[in-house]
Amino acid sequence: MRPPAGRRVLAVRGELAADPLRRWLRAHALPGAERHLDGVHERVVPTGAGPVEVSVDLGTSPGCEQVVLHAPAAALDEVEGTVRRWLGLDADPAEAEAWLARDPLLAPLVAARPGLRVPRAVAGVETAVLTVLGQQVSLAAARTFGGRLVAAFGTPVSSAPSSLTAFPAAAVLADAGAEAIRAATGVTGARARTVHALAAALAGGLDLDAAAGDPERAGAARARLLALPGIGPWTADYVALRVLGDLDAFLPGDLVLRRALGGLSPKEAAARAEPWRPWRGHALLHLWTAAVFVP
């Protein structure tokens, strides 16, 4: 993409565990909407004036104390706030790490990756829809479905050949209908109907971003998600963690988590995680990172 006009160095609170974050971003990069190369991640960020292309440079060191942001100069202030939330640059995981290090299973993981953040969402609509597309499939399959959705319903940010494409707005997906979503992505009819129901709810006033950080509103948003057809606790809790900012959110039925815990059942996994409260989300990220994103 054409180099943006604005550059800003973003300070990090404490040290950021950059290597697992780079791996996370690369593994989740959405075809057509994101690119990742050598620690530089490019993606589309929504702003009040419309979507813009930005890049964040995490460097190549295991940890980092600053991130370099490139974005259009007029949007730098707004984009900085989004990027700081997305990458957790203002988070302080020290309290969570001290708490979780008391557990013999988590202690070596915390020691190996101090400063590990919980990656948040750039936009609630995007993360919620991608979470539904990722239900009961591999991450690679979820990225494929998401890339097809972007190609079919997204909007290129510019006319440049290398331009990234903005994730489709909820209203666009709601207007498209379930059958068009199914045909474009290749998901099952049931999954397409869930995506459409979610998009209709989001277009109709379910504002996940506005509920973030407010326990009462976040709880109400989670309840509304669970009321939608095809959305269960795994999806609602993943959205709670990534979008609503609930750092105690936990996914006891997650297959990767259960394997990391030695093959426990969902009920057993939930019981095993009770001592990790109120930082179960941090524990989940450490276990996922050790199992999937770090050799």
Dihedral over Cα of 33, 181, 231, 47: its sign: positive
**Position 160 confidence tier, pLDDT thresholds 50, 70, 90:** confident
What are the start and end residues of each CATH 3.30.310.20 domain in the chain?
Answer: 5-90
CATH assignment of 124-244, among 3.40.50.620, 1.20.900.10, 3.40.50.300, 1.10.340.30: 1.10.340.30
Residue with structure tokens 């179960």?
280
Instruction: Please classify residue 233 by burial: count the beta carbons closer than 10 Å to its beta carbon, then call 0-12 exposed, 13-18 middle and 19+ buried.
Output: middle
Chain centroid, CA 228 distance in Å? 20
pTM of the model: 0.95
21-38 pLDDT tens trace: 999 999 999 999 999 998
Q: What is the homologous superfamily of the domain 5-90 according to CATH?
A: DNA-3-methyladenine glycosylase AlkA, N-terminal domain (3.30.310.20)
* Amino acid, res. 273: A
> What pLDDT shows up at residue 15?
86
Please name the helix (run of DSSP H) or strand (run of DSSP E) that holds residue 11, with its range, or none. Answer: strand 6-17
* Maximum alpha-carbon separation in the chain: 54
**Position 1 confidence tier, pLDDT thresholds 50, 70, 90:** very low
> What pLDDT shows up at residue 159?
80
Residue with structure tokens 């959705």?
149
What are the start and end residues of each CATH 1.10.340.30 domain in the chain?
Answer: 124-244
Contact 54, 45 (CB under 8 A): yes
76-131 pLDDT tens trace: 999 999 999 999 999 999 999 999 999 999 999 999 999 999 999 999 999 999 99
Query: Whole-angstrom Cα distance, residue 187 to residue 184?
Result: 8
Query: Whole-angstrom Cα distance, residue 140 to residue 28?
Result: 8
